[in-house]
Structure 1
Amino acid sequence: MTTYDVRSHTERLRNRVFSVVTDEIEMPGGEVVDRDYLVHVGAVGVVALDADERIALVRQYRPAVRQVLWELPAGLIDVPGESLVDAAARELAEEVDLVAARWDLLAEVHTTPGCSNEKIRLFLAREIASVPQEDRHERTHEEAELELHWVALDEAVTMALSGEITNAAGVIGVLATAQSKARDWKNLRPAADAV
């Protein structure tokens, strides 16, 4: 297999979510080129599926595209020492006031590998219950306006295939859930397998 040797690695900008870096890479044949990309902290997303086979979707404003998008409850891996499934459970509770008794690993996705190393781990959460009112997270900024919608799985598939859901994690999560259901959930992996 061809190797691409990284000759230098320079950080250009850093914030709490990502850094922008430039790698000097030796291409096959010897030419050396610069490649810029984002180094991302990583993320988790949750397909919360209730007993009526409805998925919890949110409407959230995204400044980069200047639109309110259909998405799964999701968030950053930004708590030191927290397991990925615990991060997913935290995000589910914080964003939509839900908890789940059953967790499976649904998919692992590099969201935009042409410009970022971001990887999102998608979990299927079942046996859903509400977080008690007194234990609910106070949402701020864009999250303060999150709208929870319960959407039938078949309808969510239609939304994903028609372009109504454009968030990559949302599309993949919805379609992976439909495929997993069609396979009687036998392709799911233990939540602890997420890396």
Structure 2
Amino acid sequence: MPEPTDVPQEWPVADSSYPYDGGGWVVKLRRDAVRRPGHPDEEPFDRLVVEHPGAAVVLAVDERDRVLCLSQYRHAVGQRLVQLPAGLLDVEGEEPVEVARRELVEEAGYEAAEWTHLISAYSSPGIIGEISHYFLARGLTEVGRGDFEPEHEEAEMEIGWVPRTELRAAVLDGRVHDAHLALALLTAEARGQ
């Protein structure tokens, strides 16, 4: 096993096509015919790649060690999930921490005085190029949502505070299944934050 460090690498692609372009909404599905490096005589193999702009996720913790959580319906899994404020990196040139700041205001109506980058991670690199950037937000002030008008699933979203110890127990007991929430919470705790 090599040193445990990810290494940038690109294998040759013989052909690419877009069987689904997302209809202008968030993702595109790309089909690549990939070749193994150094094996030009082998037939290429197909891989489907979901192109995704990436996301920023916010673990907002107040002075009472409570975590700001959202309860939101997610159609793909057919459940109302406990999640953290998060948003897409869908504005050209906007830094992940700025997306995190914007989403905390839009989804929950809070600003934070302190921002700490926790970790960046790929959600499911076997199929999707999404990378998420996780931030700890402290020094919270309620400011309202401004002119943001939630619609679709966000119009039914509920916001609340959960004691961190209770949230950790819910993750470890399997009552909460959102990977972003688990990764942000457990990373912050592993770092003593």
**Shorter-chain TM-score tier:** 0.7 to 0.9
Q: Partner letter of residue 83 of structure 1?
A: E
The verdict on how the C-alpha distance between 1:99 and 1:8 changes in structure 2, with shifts beyond 3 A counting, is: same
How many residue pairs were aligned? 181
- Name segments (4+ residues, structure 1) moved above 6 Å: none
Aligned to 1:93: 105
How far 1:33 moved relative to its partner? 0.5
How far 1:161 moved relative to its partner? 1.1
The verdict on how the C-alpha distance between 1:56 and 1:136 changes in structure 2, with shifts beyond 3 A counting, is: farther
Taking the TM superposition and a 5 Å limit, the aligned residue runs for 1:146-161 are 146-161=157-172
The alignment yields a C-alpha RMSD, in angstroms, of 1.8
Partners of 1:72 and 1:155 in 2: CA distance: 15
TM-score, length basis structure 2: 0.87
Taking the TM superposition and a 5 Å limit, the aligned residue runs for 1:24-35 are 24-27=33-36, 30-35=42-47
The percent identity for this pair of structures is 35
Q: Alignment partner for residue 114 of structure 1, among 126, 134, 147?
A: 126
List alignment gaps of at least 5 residues for structure 2. 1-6
Aligned to 2:3: none
Aligned to 1:192: none
List alignment gaps of at least 5 residues for structure 1. 186-195
Taking the TM superposition and a 5 Å limit, the aligned residue runs for 1:115-194 are 115-132=127-144, 135=146, 137-181=148-192, 185=193
Q: Partner letter of residue 10 of structure 1?
A: S
TM-score, length basis structure 1: 0.86
Partners of 2:88 and 2:11 in 1: CA distance: 29
Deviations 1:31-62 (A, max 9, x none): 42111120101111100011111111110100
Deviations 1:44-97 (A, max 9, x none): 110001111111111010010111001111111112222211111111111111
Q: Partner letter of residue 172 of structure 2?
A: L
The verdict on how the C-alpha distance between 1:4 and 1:79 changes in structure 2, with shifts beyond 3 A counting, is: closer
Deviations 1:116-138 (A, max 9, x none): 111111111010010147x3522
Tell me the SS of whatever aligns to 1:50: coil
